[in-house]
């Protein structure tokens, strides 16, 4: 249930902010007017955002939602504050007159991929001149943020980069990713040195850098702005995954986890705290073997399995299923296919599509991606996906 919180009414609350005090904001509900109790934090957020939004909005949380209690006061009397941590009931949508939108928070890796074309791989002690050098933006996190934003979802990337990496923030922002939760820290940006020889074979040296070094407080401050119903995306290329998932669940977020790169202990730790587990076919096999189980007996609300050219399937705990065929295309580069799929799927769900419709759109986006070389750059935008689906 969404209600519009008018700017006019925010301004009417002319009191100065005092942390710990409560303020009232008048909410214009589609059918009735209510006063909801908001905290000083809510108002700070409102005021912070009002600079770039025409209409602020409030979400009235569903009855029975306990973590972020709200109280309405239809009589208009001041209610006594129970506590100052009482809650971000008030959220904002930027842009004018748009419906309040849910958002995706992607706590994910950012990598710089350095590709060197070499005549052969260097032997111990050898100094070798590379014949060509190309740099690209990668990392499962950055790819998924790019996909979700290109798909049209409000997408915040939470992550860390080191010095001289501002171009990454610029590029993500060009794709529509909101970048203010990307921190600059005293650690090299995660990167890969990829040597590619004449036959196309490669060797890779990977340094996780800032992806594993970023502090947990980064996630806490980003999620302080999230609201129930938003989505947290996670992959296995960062620190703090299970803690981030646990925090997000306490805030009422959906939590989607890509078990990639696959590591059974990472999956084990996070499994109790996620709502959707995303796997490719290889990871699904690895997981079932490692836990000696089947996908159907895994105790997760939703599971998504992508199967390359064979498409993808989704199932939930209640037995609902959906399936999407992959499109018949000439694949030239399948890197980032899974990330494109998941970013689009999460965006589709976030924007209110059914699982089946979200799968269809994600399948089209991923199939289109594999026809193009590159990763995040090569992820198609929503308009391209729509016209591909219309063909």
Ligand X SMILES: Nc1ncnc2c1ncn2[C@@H]1O[C@H](COP(=O)(O)OP(=O)(O)O)[C@@H](O)[C@H]1O
CB nearer ligand X, residue 227 or residue 312 = 312
CB nearer ligand X, residue 190 or residue 363 = 363
Pairing state of beta strands 103-107 and 154-161? parallel
312 counts as binding ligand X under rule CB under 6 A? yes
269 counts as binding ligand X under rule CB under 6 A? no
Environment class of 52 (CB within 10 Å of its CB; exposed 0-12, middle 13-18, buried 19+):
exposed
233 counts as binding ligand X under rule CB under 6 A? no
The residue assigned the tokens 């947990």 is: 216
Closest CB 45 distance from ligand X, rounded Å: 36
* CA 312 remoteness from chain centre: 20
278 counts as binding ligand X under rule CB under 6 A? no
Residue whose beta carbon is closest to Mg ion: 308
8 Å CB contact between 103 and 153: yes
> According to CB under 6 A, which one of 27, 228, 287, 337 is a site residue for ligand X?
337
> According to CB under 6 A, which one of 193, 239, 322, 331 is a site residue for ligand X?
331
Distance (Å, rounded) from C-alpha 251 to C-alpha 260? 25
> According to CB under 6 A, which one of 151, 208, 234, 366 is a site residue for ligand X?
366
Q: In what order do the strands lie in the sheet with 103-107?
A: 182-184, 154-161, 103-107, 231-235, 254-258, 276-280, 302-306, 312-316, 321-324
327 counts as binding ligand X under rule CB under 6 A? yes
Distance (Å, rounded) from C-alpha 218 to C-alpha 226? 13
Closest CB 375 distance from ligand X, rounded Å: 10
The residue assigned the tokens 């096999």 is: 285
Closest CB 154 distance from ligand X, rounded Å: 24
Q: H-helix or E-strand containing 196?
A: strand 191-196
8 Å CB contact between 55 and 44: no
Closest CB 342 distance from Mg ion, rounded Å: 12
* Partner that binds at residue 366, options Mg ion, ligand X, none, CB closer than 5 to 8 Å by kind: ligand X
CB nearer ligand X, residue 240 or residue 361 = 361
Closest CA to 357 of 390, 383, 322: 322
307 counts as binding ligand X under rule CB under 6 A? yes
> According to CB under 6 A, which one of 87, 169, 242, 326 is a site residue for ligand X?
326
Q: Kindly identify the residues of this chain, within the stretch 283-312, that bind Mg ion according to CB under 5 A.
A: 308
338 counts as binding ligand X under rule CB under 6 A? yes
375 counts as binding ligand X under rule CB under 6 A? no
Distance (Å, rounded) from C-alpha 16 to C-alpha 18? 6
**Binding stretches for ligand X (CB under 6 A):** 280, 306-309, 311-312, 326-327, 329, 331, 334, 337-338, 341, 363, 366-367, 370
């Amino acid at each position: 249930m969404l209600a519009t919180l008018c700017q006019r009414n925010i301004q009417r609350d002319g009191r100065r902010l005092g942390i710990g005090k409560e303020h009232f904001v008048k909410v214009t509900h589609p059918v009735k007017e209510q006063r909801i109790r908001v905290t000083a934090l809510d108002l700070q957020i409102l005021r912070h955002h009002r600079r770039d939004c025409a209409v602020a909005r409030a979400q009235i949380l569903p009855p029975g939602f306990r973590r972020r209690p709200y109280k309405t006061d239809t009589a208009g009397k001041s209610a006594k504050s129970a506590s100052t941590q009482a809650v971000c009931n008030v959220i904002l949508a930027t842009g004018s007159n748009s419906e309040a939108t849910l958002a995706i928070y992607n706590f994910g890796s950012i990598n710089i991929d350095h590709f060197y074309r070499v005549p052969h791989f260097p032997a111990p002690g050898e100094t070798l001149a590379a014949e060509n050098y190309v740099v690209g933006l990668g990392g499962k996190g950055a790819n998924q943020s790019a996909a979700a934003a290109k798909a049209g979802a409000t997408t915040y990337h939470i992550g860390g980069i080191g010095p001289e990496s501002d171009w990454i923030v610029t590029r993500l922002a060009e794709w529509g990713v909101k970048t203010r939760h990307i921190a600059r820290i005293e650690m090299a940006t995660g990167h890969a040195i990829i040597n590619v020889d004449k036959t196309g074979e490669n060797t890779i040296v990977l340094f996780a850098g800032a992806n594993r070094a970023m502090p947990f407080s980064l996630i806490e401050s980003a999620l302080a702005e999230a609201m129930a119903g938003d989505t947290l995306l996670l992959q296995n290329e960062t620190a703090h995954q299970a803690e981030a998932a646990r925090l997000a669940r306490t805030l009422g977020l959906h939590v989607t986890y890509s078990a990639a790169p696959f590591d059974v202990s990472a999956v084990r730790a996070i499994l109790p705290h996620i709502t959707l587990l995303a796997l490719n076919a290889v990871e699904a096999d690895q997981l079932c073997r490692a836990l000696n189980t089947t996908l159907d007996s895994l105790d997760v609300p939703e599971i998504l399995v992508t199967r390359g050219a064979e498409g993808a399937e989704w199932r939930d705990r209640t037995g609902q299923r959906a399936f999407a065929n992959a499109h018949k295309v000439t694949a030239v580069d399948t890197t980032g296919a899974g990330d494109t799929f998941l970013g689009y799927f999460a965006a589709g769900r976030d924007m209110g599509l059914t699982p089946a419709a979200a799968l269809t759109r994600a399948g089209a986006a991923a199939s289109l991606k594999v026809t193009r070389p590159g990763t995040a750059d090569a992820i198609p935008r929503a308009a391209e996906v729509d016209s591909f689906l219309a063909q």
